[in-house]
Copies of this chain bind each other. A is one copy, B any other.
């Protein structure tokens, strides 16, 4: 029984991991349920045992992973640090996820962020922006950042700059060696902080 449950979790996880890989490679629409099952090494019917639909698989990928990200953002926000340091922390989390799991980032960037399927999740994505916005406002209050900037717009611009670098990696247009990632981190953070700083 215990074994059964473990195996069960295994299968579910294997299907999700396979889905991330297959969605990353072929896109949501180009990925067939059968492809995912094959990659996971299970019969495709089993997928419907764990998920309601193909769409639900994508939604689950988003929800489970976005939750992690947001949690980390939140703990950065809660830390006792100056606002610029917090912004730097957020940027690092976002960009370093790439090296940990490029396929996951590909799916999040290409399929989820702008998808129609997951309109319901737009609210969740918004949360990240709000955190960034609050950190910027914090910086404005502390005098670290210029007050005349619209914090909300600035959070979008900041986030967009980071996301585009991820996109460059996803599309293979920007080099992504360890060193390149480090440089991208410095460049993006430097640009943003200087742009914001009072």
Give the interface of A toward B (CB within 8 A).
26-27, 29-30, 109-111, 113-116, 119, 122, 126, 149-150, 152-154, 156-165, 167-168, 170-171, 173-174, 183-184, 187-188, 190-197
Output the nearest chain B residue to A171 by Cβ-Cβ distance.
B122
Chain B residues whose CB sits within 8 angstroms of the CB of A159 once the complex forms = 164
Output the nearest chain B residue to A161 by Cβ-Cβ distance.
B157
The reply to whether B196 and A191 form a contact with Cβ atoms under 8 Å apart is yes
A sample of 22 cross-chain residue pairs with beta-carbon separation below 8 angstroms, ordered by A number, consists of A26-B116, A27-B115, A29-B29, A126-B173, A149-B191, A152-B174, A153-B165, A153-B188, A156-B164, A156-B168, A156-B174, A157-B164, A157-B192, A158-B161, A159-B164, A160-B160, A160-B162, A160-B163, A163-B164, A164-B164, A191-B192, A191-B195
Chain B residues whose CB sits within 8 angstroms of the CB of A30 once the complex forms = 116
